[in-house]
């Protein structure tokens, strides 16, 4: 069977591109995934997400580091190696990003990527449980629910935000992102709603779509400056699969640049070090790596006040039974049911800090992640200034790439995280917490000076698992792809994943990746773009 398009990676973007292209029965599509099936309770039950995260079978097992500004620490980076990719194992939090993110992309020479042009594709991809309006969609494949946030600690979080002077925004994916909010999630009828469930599963019956799982792509086969197909390894055998039109890389911000470099597309000097034949000198491949670095602020509370009281052995049995029999109860929650987008300083136009609230605390004890009575604020930087890179460790496709974020290289990032800890503490001092507030577990009451808080941040910094930017879209010489996601250095090659983001968005990445996949699918098919929207959005007063 000959294919028109080969798509590498059945993740958040790849499932969408495969589904949209194969809607035309005359187009033959091959979707290749290194992992296996997304069937099973730990990927279907929202509350089972810690097990999905920790599963070695479902992940790539990547770490970043040694991180030079964090005492050479290594940091875990969860990436899904399974049908649905990271959308099959992540926390399911639905945040689009701030409209100013996309207007910022337009200001970088990409006018068709402003908010007005992106909003119609956000609307097309979703069915929002609260119904459609000028910001939200009502007839798309991705089912988005509003979290119930019934636990009393969610109430305390939301009330403390208002008491601290922040707005309660009714829909942070609508007119106004900034403020505290009840969260939204990729959850429907008690099930995780991954891109595989929304897009790929309904398309699997199509005769013109083939899905090849447990297959590692070794390289893109490039001849005369254009992609002709891919070389894959499966069950110990290597073979080449050719295509008539394009190879589309949807392998993510780590694996896509790695694959380009293994194919001979990257910085010539680096490729020469690994004995890889140069196909095209493209020094931007692997650079500009971004993430959302952050820390947890944790407090103790009484057992009966924390969600832990509902998760004892009897509570866990009830959770499992309610979910298995009725798709009801705590099993349908990701537990991140409230959050906030806030500014720590007045000289930024956008919320530079994201908070995700959890009505329990989780700590590593005897090598295991356990829940203890309390609550915690996860806080991360929305648009950090520090940049890192993905490079090759080896010419062997099975060897993970080198991933170094250079977290906290920028002094501004340090200062913003210190300010974020102080902002969170200011919220927790509000009257709404008087009934529940116990001992501060991390960073602890002794960490009061900026220097104390900075030491805590450097020792405990993690990420939200949001890598992006390593094959950046743009018009300058170092940009890897153009505004239609075509690789500038090689013909018949496109990239559709977080690696092409010109700048990271002020949110979790899944929703924006899916929007990009919808938008670029139209470009691949030469369809006219959806008309730009006229919906307004909130800008903070000067």
Token pair 């899904």 is found at 80
Distance CA 430, CA 437 (A): 10
CATH of domain 148-182+293-381+409-460: 3.30.410.40
Reported confidence tier of residue 383, pLDDT bands at 50, 70, 90:
very high
Beta bridge partners of 404: 389
Residue 458: both structure tokens together: 């450097």
Distance CA 39, CA 43 (A): 7
Neighbours of 107 (CB within 10 A): 14
205 is catalytic: no
Distance CA 499, CA 288 (A): 9
Distance CA 347, CA 27 (A): 50
pLDDT in tens, 67-113: 999 999 999 999 999 999 999 999 999 999 999 999 999 999 999 99
Alpha helices in 83-205 (DSSP H): 99-107, 115-125, 152-163, 195, 201-203
User: In CATH, which of 3.50.50.60, 3.40.190.80, 3.40.50.1370, 3.20.20.70 is domain 1-37+75-99+193-292+384-405+466-526?
Assistant: 3.50.50.60
pTM attached to this predicted model = 0.97
- pLDDT at position 367, please? 73
Nearest partner of 405 among 274, 254, 269, judged by Cα? 254
| Structure letter (DSSP) for residue 539 | -
Distance CA 345, CA 247 (A): 44
Nearest partner of 117 among 537, 496, 533, judged by Cα? 533
Reported confidence tier of residue 1, pLDDT bands at 50, 70, 90:
low
For the chain, give the mean pLDDT.
Answer: 97
What is the mean predicted confidence (pLDDT) over 432-461?
97
Tell me the backbone φ, ψ of residue 316, rounded to 5 degrees: -65, -40
Q: State in Å, rounded, how far the first CA of the chain is from the last one.
A: 60
pLDDT in tens, 526-541: 999 999 999 999 999 8
Reported confidence tier of residue 388, pLDDT bands at 50, 70, 90:
very high
- pLDDT at position 542, please? 74
pLDDT higher than 90, residue 415: yes
pLDDT higher than 80, residue 4: yes
Q: Where in the chain is the domain with CATH 3.50.50.60?
A: 1-37+75-99+193-292+384-405+466-526
Nearest partner of 6 among 35, 24, 33, judged by Cα? 33
What is the mean predicted confidence (pLDDT) over 286-306?
97
- pLDDT at position 2, please? 84
pLDDT in tens, 340-375: 999 999 999 999 999 999 999 987 777 777 788 999
pLDDT higher than 70, residue 253: yes
Active-site choice (151, 172, 181, 466):
466
| Residue pair 514/126 in contact by the 8 Å Cβ criterion | no
What is the mean predicted confidence (pLDDT) over 4-33?
98
Q: Where in the chain is the domain with CATH 3.30.410.40?
A: 148-182+293-381+409-460
CA triple 118-119-120, angle to 5 deg: 95
pLDDT in tens, 192-247: 999 999 999 999 999 999 999 999 999 999 999 999 999 999 999 999 999 999 99
DSSP string, 206-272: -TTEEEE-S-EEEEEEEETTEEEEEEEEETTEEEEEEEEEEEEE-SHHHHHHHHHHHTTEE-HHHHH
- pLDDT at position 537, please? 98
Which DSSP helix (H) or strand (E) runs through 369? strand 368-372
- pLDDT at position 17, please? 99
What is the mean predicted confidence (pLDDT) over 477-499?
98
pLDDT in tens, 157-187: 999 999 999 999 999 999 999 999 999 999 9
Distance CA 260, CA 287 (A): 13
- pLDDT at position 372, please? 87
Dihedral of alpha carbons 253, 473, 532, 179, sign: positive
């Amino acid at each position: 069977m000959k294919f028109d398009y080969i798509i590498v990676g059945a993740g958040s973007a790849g499932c969408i591109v495969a589904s949209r292209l194969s809607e035309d029965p005359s187009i033959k599509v091959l979707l290749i995934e290194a992992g296996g099936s997304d069937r099973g309770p730990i990927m279907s039950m929202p509350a089972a997400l810690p097990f999905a995260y920790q599963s070695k079978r479902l992940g790539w097992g990547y770490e970043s580091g040694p991180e030079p500004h964090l005492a050479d620490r290594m940091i875990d980076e969860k990436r899904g190696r399974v049908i649905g990719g990271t959308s099959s194992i992540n926390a399911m939090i639905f945040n689009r990003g701030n409209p100013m993110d996309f207007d910022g992309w337009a200001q970088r020479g990409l006018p068709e990527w402003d908010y007005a042009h992106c909003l119609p594709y956000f609307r097309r991809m979703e069915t929002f449980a609260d119904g459609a309006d000028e910001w939200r969609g009502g007839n798309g494949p991705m089912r988005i629910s509003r979290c119930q946030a019934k636990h009393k600690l969610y109430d305390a979080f939301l009330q403390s935000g208002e008491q601290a002077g922040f707005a309660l925004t009714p829909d942070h994916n609508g007119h106004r992102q900034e403020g505290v909010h009840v969260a939204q999630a990729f959850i429907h009828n008690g099930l995780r709603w991954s891109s595989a469930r929304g897009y790929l599963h309904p398309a699997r019956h199509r005769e013109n779509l083939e899905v090849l799982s447990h297959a590692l792509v070794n390289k893109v086969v490039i001849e005369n400056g254009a992609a002709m197909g891919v070389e894959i390894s499966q069950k110990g055998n290597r073979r080449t699969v050719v295509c008539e039109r394009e190879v589309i890389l949807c392998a993510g911000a780590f694996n896509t640049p790695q694959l380009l470099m293994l194919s001979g597309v990257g910085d010539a000097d680096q490729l020469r070090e690994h004995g890889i034949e140069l196909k095209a000198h493209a020094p931007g491949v692997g650079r500009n790596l971004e993430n959302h670095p952050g820390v947890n602020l944790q407090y103790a509370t009484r057992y009966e006040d924390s969600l832990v009281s509902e998760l004892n052995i009897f509570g866990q049995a009830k959770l499992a039974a309610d979910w298995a029999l009725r798709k009801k109860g705590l099993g349908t929650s990701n537990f991140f049911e409230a959050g906030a987008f806030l500014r720590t300083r007045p000289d930024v136009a956008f919320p530079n800090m994201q908070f995700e609230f959890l009505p329990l605390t989780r700590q590593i004890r005897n090598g295991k992640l356990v829940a203890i009575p309390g609550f915690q604020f996860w806080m991360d930087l929305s648009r950090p200034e520090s940049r890192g890179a993905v490079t090759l460790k080896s010419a062997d496709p099975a060897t993970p790439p080198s991933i170094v974020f250079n977290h906290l290289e920028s002094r501004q990032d340090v200062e913003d995280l210190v300010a974020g800890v102080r902002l969170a503490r200011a919220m927790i001092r509000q009257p709404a917490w008087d009934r529940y507030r116990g001992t501060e577990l991390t960073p602890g009451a002794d960490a009061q000076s900026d220097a104390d808080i900075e030491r805590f941040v450097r020792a405990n910094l993690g990420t939200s698992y949001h890598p992006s930017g390593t094959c950046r879209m743009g018009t300058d010489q170092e940009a890897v792809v153009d505004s239609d996601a075509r690789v500038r250095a090689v013909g018949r090659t496109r990239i559709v994943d977080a690696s092409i983001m010109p700048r990271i968005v002020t949110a979790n990445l899944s929703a924006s990746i899916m929007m990009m996949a919808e938008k670029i699918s139209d470009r691949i098919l030469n369809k006219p773009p959806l008309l730009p929207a006229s919906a307004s959005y909130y800008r903070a007063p000067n």
